[in-house]
Structures are given as structure tokens and as C-alpha cells.
């Protein structure tokens, strides 16, 4: 009976089914939350993304954290690509986004920005076709192709350009192919004139 009392605590421990995964102490989680938001405030996207992933590992049901992590992953890449784009180097901007997609292949925002930059690369060819269109039919075709290929780029300047170009097509067609109202003035003679 004495051996039973010695083995009883061991049997209780085994029967309780303690798992190896023990949630971290609340202090560690709180410290991680503070560091995460401090990184956000300091615009340190890399650190915020790493800390956000750790926070998400603590609570897999918190999809808000997952969205914040994706945004932080994309922010650094998009900021670097924007700098290249502002300096007029479209190929470098595309390469920065492509590198970001290699690091974060499931990031939807990076995929969306990559698609927009690829559309900008083809925009030059579209605008050359618009400028070199010889007649209203070709102008209309070029405008439709440009609108289709540049859909998703919501720029007020682009919308204004398309609207002005549509007006110029209508004006050109009206001036060159519109009804010509020519009147021939015939002098009226009376029967009395001979």
C-alpha cells in the first residue's frame, strides 16, 4: 500500500494529460503587443511583420492580426517601389515588388501592385497607338484597348485624358465626316424677266 501512495502522484500527473504546449505567460504576450505597436508607430514594417506573426501564432483565430501582418509585409516593398517609380525607373520598381513576392508569395496587396506596375509598363505602347491613330475608327479602337488594358488604375488624370480623347474623336469625326450643309443659291427669276 505504501508503494501505491508513492506512485499515486505520478499516476495523477500522467492521467491529467498535460501537454507540451503551454501558453506563454501573459507578460510575454503583452510585451510582444507593445513592441508590435511601437514598430508600427516607428514605421518599421519588417519588425512589425515579424512580431505580428509571433502574435498570430499565439492566437490563430485572430484574423485581424493576419491582415496587419500582410499590410506590414507589403508596406516596405511598396514604399521602395514608389521611390523607384517617382524617379522614373519602372523596371526597378517592378523588380522590388517581384522580390517582395518571392519573400511573401501569398500577399494579395503585393500581387495587386505588381499587376498595376505591369499595366504601366504596357501603357507606353498603348499611348503610342492612341497618338498615331489616323482616323476615328482607329482612334476608337486604340481608346478601347487602352481603357481595357489600364483598367484598375484609377487615376483622375487618366480618366480626364480618356474623356478628352473621346471628345476629340467625336469632334474629328464630325468635322471630317459630318453632314455637309452646302446650299446653292439660285437666283429667282420672275416670268416677267426676259
Grid cell listed for 125: 505602347
DSSP letters, 78-123, are HHHHHHHHHTT-HHHHHHHHHHHHHH-TT-HHHHHHHHHHHHHHHH
Q: What is the pLDDT of residue 43?
A: 75
pLDDT at 93: 92
Whose cell is 483598367? That residue is 151
pLDDT recorded at residue 106: 85
Q: What is the pLDDT of residue 38?
A: 87
Whole-number pLDDT of residue 138: 87
Report pLDDT for 7.
64
Other Cβ atoms within 10 Å of 98 Cβ, number = 14
153-184 as b/e: b if 16+ CB within 10 A: eeeeeeeeeeeebeeebeeeeeeeeeeeeeee
Query: According to the model, what pLDDT value does residue 173 have?
Result: 65
Is 17 in a helix, a strand, or coil? coil
Angle, nearest 10°, between helix axes 90-103 and 63-86?
160
pLDDT value of position 94: 93
Output the CATH code of domain 21-120.
1.25.40
Parts of the chain with a pLDDT under 70? 1-26, 173-194
- How many C-beta neighbours within 10 Å does residue 92 have? 15
Summarize pLDDT for 21-57 with one digit per residue, the tens.
666 566 777 888 888 888 878 877 778 878 888 888 8
Amino acid at each position: 500500500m505504501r508503494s501505491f501512495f508513492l506512485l499515486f502522484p505520478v499516476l495523477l500527473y500522467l492521467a491529467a494529460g498535460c501537454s507540451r504546449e503551454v501558453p506563454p505567460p501573459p507578460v510575454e504576450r503583452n510585451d510582444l503587443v507593445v513592441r508590435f505597436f511601437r514598430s508600427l508607430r516607428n514605421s518599421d514594417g519588417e519588425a512589425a511583420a515579424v512580431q505580428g506573426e509571433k502574435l498570430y501564432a499565439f492566437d490563430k483565430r485572430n484574423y485581424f492580426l493576419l491582415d496587419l501582418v500582410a499590410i506590414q509585409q507589403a508596406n516596405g516593398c511598396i514604399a521602395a517601389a514608389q521611390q523607384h517609380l517617382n524617379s522614373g525607373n519602372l523596371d526597378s520598381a517592378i523588380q522590388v515588388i517581384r522580390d517582395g513576392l518571392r519573400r511573401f508569395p501569398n500577399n494579395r496587396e503585393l500581387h495587386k501592385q505588381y499587376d498595376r506596375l505591369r499595366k504601366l509598363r504596357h501603357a507606353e505602347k498603348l499611348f503610342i497607338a492612341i497618338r498615331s491613330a489616323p482616323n476615328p475608327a482607329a482612334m476608337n479602337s486604340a481608346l478601347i484597348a487602352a481603357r481595357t488594358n489600364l483598367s484598375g488604375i484609377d487615376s483622375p488624370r487618366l480618366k480626364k485624358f480618356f474623356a478628352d480623347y473621346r471628345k476629340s474623336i467625336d469632334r474629328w469625326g464630325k468635322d471630317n465626316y459630318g453632314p455637309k450643309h452646302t446650299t446653292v443659291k439660285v437666283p429667282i427669276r420672275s416670268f416677267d424677266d426676259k
